[in-house]
Amino acid sequence: MRDGSSKASWLPRAATALAVLSRYGTTALIGLLSLLGVTLAIDEGVWAGAIAVFAALAASAVAVSYRRHRIVGPTVVAALSLGLIVWVMLGSYSRVIEPVGFVLLIAAALWDWRAGASRGGAADGISWIEALALADRVKREPGPVIVDVRGPDEFHGPLGHVASALNLPVGELPNRLMEINALMDKPVILVCCIDKRLANAAVLLRDSGFRDVHVMRGGMEQWNESGLPVERRTAPGQT
């Protein structure tokens, strides 16, 4: 399952196409009209400004997509391309630098697309476990490692948590993997209030060397609906 941002994975490519068309499409149109004896007058300053804006939108879309795949390369290339395009459009024009800037922008958009597709494909292969099946596994020895990726407020909140669960919020997980690295060879079950934000966490663990990672389908909502026992305790700092 993918997060909501993947629904906008087309934005970097669309914005890049708009930037390229605004530069070379307009030039081609002017050339075609001139062959037909039609002169099209364009304010070059406004035109250059529009191209720079479209390039900025494309680079920004690539940067935002970093949240989908966590690969910084496309953002770096997009930023470099934007700098070159803005320089030649609004600063000192160069026939050499201009195409390099647009080629880099296209490369960034394609790299972003490939990175997102690769991460999405990995997420599609997630192994799921039902709440009742997990409850049965918890009773066995050795039991699985249960990692609850909700924030502390949710972990200690109304839905409660599985008694043996470790609380590692999804936003902190990349920087806290060392806390569970010793458990790398054991089955790991990821739990949330719902399962929508677990796909990236599962992919992160698998990419980090965890070989047996599962996601509890339906999260703690399903666990509660199944009438399974939960633990609730006061969060640190609360009374």
In tens digits, the chain (239 residues) has pLDDT values of: 334 444 457 889 999 999 999 999 999 998 898 888 888 888 989 999 999 999 999 999 999 887 666 688 999 999 999 999 999 999 999 999 999 999 999 999 999 988 776 555 545 557 889 999 999 988 887 889 999 999 999 999 999 999 889 999 988 988 998 888 888 888 999 998 765 567 778 888 888 888 889 999 888 999 999 999 998 765 555 44
Residues 14 and 44 in one domain: yes
Domain that holds residue 215: 127-225
DSSP 152-178: HHHHTSTT-B-TT-EE--TTTHHHHGG
Which residue among 104, 120, 136 closes a domain? 120
Q: Do residues 190 and 104 touch, judged by C-beta distance below 8 A?
A: no
Cα distance from N-terminal residue to C-terminal residue, the chain: 37
Q: What is the DSSP letter of 215?
A: E
Which residue among 80, 101, 120 closes a domain? 120
Q: For residue 161, what is the domain's CATH number?
A: 3.40.250.10
The model carries a pTM of 0.53
In a domain, 69, yes or no: yes
Residues 155 and 72 in one domain: no
CA distances from 238 to 157, 214, 233 (A): 12, 32, 10
Using DSSP's 3-state secondary structure scheme, residue 67 falls into helix
Q: Which of 117, 118, 88 is nearest to 103 (CA)?
A: 88
